[in-house]
Chains A and B, each alone.
Chain A
Amino acid sequence: MPVLADIKEAITRELEGLALVIGWGQGYDPVHAVPFFCRSSADIDRLIWNPLCVHNLVSYLPKLKGKKVGILCKGCDSRSIVQLLQEKLIKREEIVIIGIPCRGVVDMNKIQALINGKEVIDCSFTDKTITIKTSEGKQEASLDDVLAAKCLVCQYPTPIIFDHLAGAAFSAQRPAAAVDAEVKEIEGLDIPARLAHWERELDRCIRCYACRNACPLCVCRDHCAADARDPHWFSQRTGVNEKVMWQIMHALHLAGRCTDCGECERACPMNIPIQRIRRKINKEIKELFAYEAGVNPADTPPLYTFKVEEPTIKESEW
């Protein structure tokens, strides 16, 4: 059975007991998917599933706590569910998870480059290719060329947690070492070069907080410390310092929690490579505490616990 039919069948079975099912629907043109809330059986046919379904829908879940909802999730998205469960921010019995093994979603910037501002009439996929029909003709590209960077290093293509799995499970196809490639690239620079890198990249930040709003683990929402007066961490100044401070705050609040879904970077309107900031912390956390966020609902995030003896922490010798 095709995956989409599988998804629809599962929803048809479950919908009655659910307030809604969060999935993806088509946006304003054939290359744009949008989150879609499916509330009745009439809505089911409007659901789509293809590599355009870039959004991590889990971001909606904490706000829906108290309602029983269904959710569609890819492998990467499922880690956010696990992490939220770990932190008791959502309840397992309140969600029905329809997991979808995923071969990758697109990077919309790469798609935009392909379309180059023309009107899109149709978009179709095969296992290896994407074909976009525009007002000026047909464009075909290899899927690997348009996939999001995170998908090219994907370690969790099949959801970790699900009630229904739509399609066949498969294991990671990409080498694990690739995840940290971007981090290592920066680690290869000397300190002034790293400073210059972030100065250059982060100076573009407009502090729109799209990264935060897209983040499935940023559950504070309207109460984010970045917007508050008490505590008053940020001024109205627009210097790069404040921008760096914001990105570090986001990354540190996610330390041991970030599931590497990449929504922050995808949402960034200034195309700042901010995921690698989180990845650096993920890397250190993994090295220190042998811990990866969002893979085991029974884990405790490492910064909310401790060991009396920490064999991996070597303190300065004073």
Chain B
Amino acid sequence: MRIGVFVCHCGTNIGGMVDSHQVAEAAKQFPHVVYATDYLYTCSEPGQLQIQTAIKEQSLDGVVVAACSPRMHENTFRRTIERAGLNRYMFDMANIREHCSWIGEDKEANTRKATELVRMAVAKVANHAHLHSSLFDVNKRVLVLGGGVAGMQAALDCADGGLDVILVEKKTSVGGRMAQLDKTFPTVDCSICILGPKMVDVAQHDKIKLYTYAEIDEIKGYVGNYTAKIRKKAPYVDWTKCTGCGLCMEKCPSKQSFDYHNEGIAVTTAINIPFPQAIPKKAKIDPAYCRQFTKGKCGVCAKVCPVKAINYEMEDEIVTEEVGAIIVATGYGLLDIGELGEYGAGRYPDVITGIQYERMLNASGPTQGHVQRPSDGEEPKRVVFISCAGSRDASLGRPYCSNFCCMYIAKQAILTKDHVPGVEVYVFYIDIRSPGKGYEEFTRRAQEEYGVQYIRGRVSRVFPQGKRMMVKGVDTLLGAQMEIEADLVVLGTAATAAPGAQELAEKLRISYDGYGFYMESHPKLRPVETNTSGVFLAGACQGPKDIPASVGQGSAAASKVLALFSKDQLASDPQIALVNERRCIGCFKCQDTCPFGAIEERELRDGQKVAHVIETVCQGCGLCTSTCPPGAIQLQQCTDNQIIAEVEALCQAWKQRS
């Protein structure tokens, strides 16, 4: 073979800690290498042109680029060599940046390491084969998981783009977190007033099929051809009949049910419609509180329902939907405030969370928008906000910033001033984070126009003092201990991964970080893609983010799906397993272990049965290759011989060392 080696300096990123020129010089001695050079930025246009020129002038039939991680630029350089007429798979990268220059402190050792990595890559390319994609059909339907603002935006954009959309929401109504909010920062718009029309659009769009009170049981398949099993949970109300009249709620005798929409600061009925603007506006029975379920008798709702929609015998239903892509917009959860013992959260009724306070401020909330102490219903004269309650706290395993608390605390502080004349408002903060458009001005307004007292410092303890709560903290700017008596304490509780996020990730085969937030494909350049082709992210499931960012990601994910579906057929990845039929002994151990069912039996003309890989189903994991005793099934681009060649090349280098 005639292999060319191109060693990148990446400015000083590599060049500072690896002698790239020396690596290129050493590479000239390796078997198959006919050309080697180094360049300041190989990925730049002149850098890529240099490769293309060398391919032509040196008649190269294989290329190795020693630069950054192949996870970064493998595709870039594959396209480069393809443009020069080479098969794009006659290429490999040696990662001499992330795995070498950035982590090793000894330039000489780094240079040696880089040289050896190049030697391995060359040995691998020498064993590469030309691979060619084939085409397969795409099912142009998209599944959106989560009916919050991000999911709805994604669903609407996809539907407006002409795609059939399946929207699955866990709760009985779409709307998500935003439907719980009273106002939005920094414009102090009424949240449900701007969200409501979107919710109606989702419900009425003829391209959107809505499953609320539903969850994903199973996802199978691959980009272009996923099959989802959706569990429609039993609401014990026949929604084809329910008109949302609310009579059942009026008559339900079980009035002490946990009110999820109001975050538990109020109670509701066992059969309920969560909020007036709910879409679809359908009732659901909470069997944990319903007397028919807990005591075995009641039946009031069944008696009063004018359309006879109540069905206590209802069971979950599983529906199957075939789609080509999935947008995950499952949102975030909130820290269980029981973890914040020092603030007395969960123990003292007058210490509440921001989202609970949001419900209290809301005109359709349990207090009709009146600010009241939960303990005695009195209007507070002094309200204290504590930001970073559970976030930016490594001791609680949550060193990250929850992104939107500073802003909603400013908003709630302003609203408090509006709702309660003469109220004093204090905010304990670590830093005020207001980097959005109009955000800084908004937090300044809270302080300057509304007279909200911002105290830089942490609260160490909150405890009851008579009827009031004593907030004990430190003002780090004054360097003084602070004690403030408050009537109401509101916590800017940490945003967490949504409950069940990890289980869903496992079903989708996407990654999540240490906190349970989903991992994007690249933090800067592929923020809504995942590493599983055809699965996209939108909104706070990827990390805490505010409404405009979530909406933006919803649209971004939708545009990714629309781009994906702009072709009728997709090119399959040829890096899949291939059976050498002459060597297959027909033991079918590959079939037993393949996680995707990608292996079928094929009968040869002499009657012998051999394994055959179904191209579109194979995902290229290579489990079959390491299972096959004779090595008859080989994962293309990662064959036994390629890995053995890498090991042997490394061994040659080791021998030359000593």
Whether A and B touch (Cβ < 8 Å) is answered with yes
A contact residues vs B (CB 8 Å cutoff): 87-89, 219-221, 223-225, 228, 230-233, 253, 300, 304-305
One of A219, A223, A232, A233 near B632 (C-beta < 8 A): A223
Are B634 and A221 touching (Cβ within 8 A)? no
Find chain A residues with CB under 8 A from B630 CB.
220, 223-225, 228
Any A CB within 8 A of the CB of B639: yes
Are B631 and A225 touching (Cβ within 8 A)? yes
Describe B's contact surface by its main secondary structure.
loop
Are A230 and B641 touching (Cβ within 8 A)? yes
Find chain B residues with CB under 8 A from A88 CB.
587-588
Find chain A residues with CB under 8 A from B629 CB.
219-220, 225, 253
Chain A min CB distance to B581 (Å): 11
Q: Mark B616-657, 1 if CB is under 8 A from A, else 0.
A: 000000000001011110100001110010000000000000
Chain A min CB distance to B293 (Å): 32
Q: Mark B513-528, 1 if CB is under 8 A from A, else 0.
A: 0000000000000000
CA–CA, A253 to B628, complex, Å? Answer: 9
One of A219, A231, A253 near B634 (C-beta < 8 A): A231
Query: How many contacts between A and B, using CB within 8 angstroms?
Result: 50
15 additional A-B residue pairs with CB within 8 Å, beyond A220-B585, A225-B630: A88-B587, A219-B585, A219-B629, A223-B584, A223-B630, A225-B631, A228-B583, A230-B583, A230-B639, A230-B640, A231-B639, A231-B644, A232-B641, A233-B631, A304-B593
Find chain A residues with CB under 8 A from B218 CB.
none
Find chain A residues with CB under 8 A from B580 CB.
230
Any A CB within 8 A of the CB of B592: yes
Q: Mark B561-593, 1 if CB is under 8 A from A, else 0.
A: 000000000000000000010011101110011
* Residue total for B at the interface (Cβ-Cβ under 8 A): 19
Chain A min CB distance to B16 (Å): 30
CA–CA, A305 to B587, complex, Å? Answer: 15
Chain B min CB distance to A265 (Å): 20
Counting from the closest, the 9 A-B pairs by CB-CB distance are: A231-B640, A231-B631, A223-B630, A220-B630, A223-B583, A225-B631, A253-B629, A304-B592, A225-B630
**With contacts A230-B631, A231-B634 known, is A219 near B587, CB below 8 A?**
yes
Are B641 and A231 touching (Cβ within 8 A)? yes
Q: Mark B33-63, 1 if CB is under 8 A from A, else 0.
A: 0000000000000000000000000000000
Chain B min CB distance to A286 (Å): 21
CA–CA, A24 to B640, complex, Å? Answer: 41
CA–CA, A231 to B634, complex, Å? Answer: 9
Are A230 and B585 touching (Cβ within 8 A)? no
Are A87 and B589 touching (Cβ within 8 A)? yes
Find chain B residues with CB under 8 A from A232 CB.
640-641, 644
CA–CA, A232 to B641, complex, Å? Answer: 6
CA–CA, A223 to B632, complex, Å? Answer: 8
Find chain B residues with CB under 8 A from A219 CB.
585, 587, 629
Chain A min CB distance to B597 (Å): 15
CA–CA, A88 to B588, complex, Å? Answer: 9
Are A228 and B631 touching (Cβ within 8 A)? yes
CA–CA, A304 to B595, complex, Å? Answer: 11
CA–CA, A224 to B587, complex, Å? Answer: 13
CA–CA, A225 to B634, complex, Å? Answer: 12
One of A221, A233, A300, A305 near B585 (C-beta < 8 A): A221
- Considering only CB atoms, which chain A residue lies closest to B592 in the complex? A304
CA–CA, A232 to B580, complex, Å? Answer: 14
CA–CA, A79 to B532, complex, Å? Answer: 44
Chain A min CB distance to B583 (Å): 5
CA–CA, A250 to B129, complex, Å? Answer: 29
